[in-house]
Amino acid sequence: MIETEEEARAFTASLCDSAAMARLERLAELLLAENERQNLVARPTVPHLWQRHIADSAQLLRHVPRETGVWLDLGTGAGFPGLVIAAMRPEWPVRLVESRKRRVEWLEAARDALGLARCEVLGERLEKIDSFAAGVISARAFAPMPRLLELAARFSTKQTLWLLPKGRSAKQDLDALPKIRRAMFHVEQSLTDLEAGIVIGGPVQGGRPEARHDP
């Protein structure tokens, strides 16, 4: 379990190279500066930025052994987890969905400052974005599971991996699904919070569940 900022940095560094760590350090600087202008992250979490936000995002890479196509991050907000993933894996195509104008501007500025050429910010509501096949779909605080699957199913294929950090509501969110969909997912313990979980699974095609394919 990751309990300190030092442990969070060491864990994150174990998943990427020194260039990626430099990008993440820069991202942290940019975020802290912007947080004085808009509330990107809750102020009580600022002293624990690496544990609560960066390592919390980075841990998703443990479930993705190789590039799996476009990484689609829903409701990216301040860039978690999508912008962290893009900074750690700049060669991967990452698309960040965020509809709030000020957040979109922040994401675009941070992306450009970090030189993430393959990271695209989609500044629209998900409903307005044209369908495409996603290799990974992530969402940290986007919507309850039933609504999330309803909105995002059209981006899923038989190979899509769903990575959904749901915090302390992981089991409750999963239990809210119909039984046939619930069977497609499972909850993994978060490494950054003893009470938090990550819902992992898939796929859902066209709103109809298919048999689960392990990543």
**pTM summary value:** 0.91
Residue 204: pLDDT over 80: no
**Token pair belonging to 56:** 């919390």
Q: CA–CA separation, 90 vs 88, rounded Å?
A: 6
* 197 DSSP β-pair partners: 167, 189
Domain ranges of the chain: 5-209
pLDDT one-digit tens code per residue, 123-161: 999 999 999 999 999 999 888 889 999 999 999 998 999
The CATH H-level superfamily of 5-209 is: Vaccinia Virus protein VP39 (3.40.50.150)
Q: What value does the mean pLDDT take over residues 111-119? A: 98
DSSP result, 45-98 = GGGGHIIIIIHHHHGGGGG--S--S-EEEES-TTTTTHHHHHHH-TTS-EEEE-
pLDDT one-digit tens code per residue, 15-27: 999 999 999 999 9
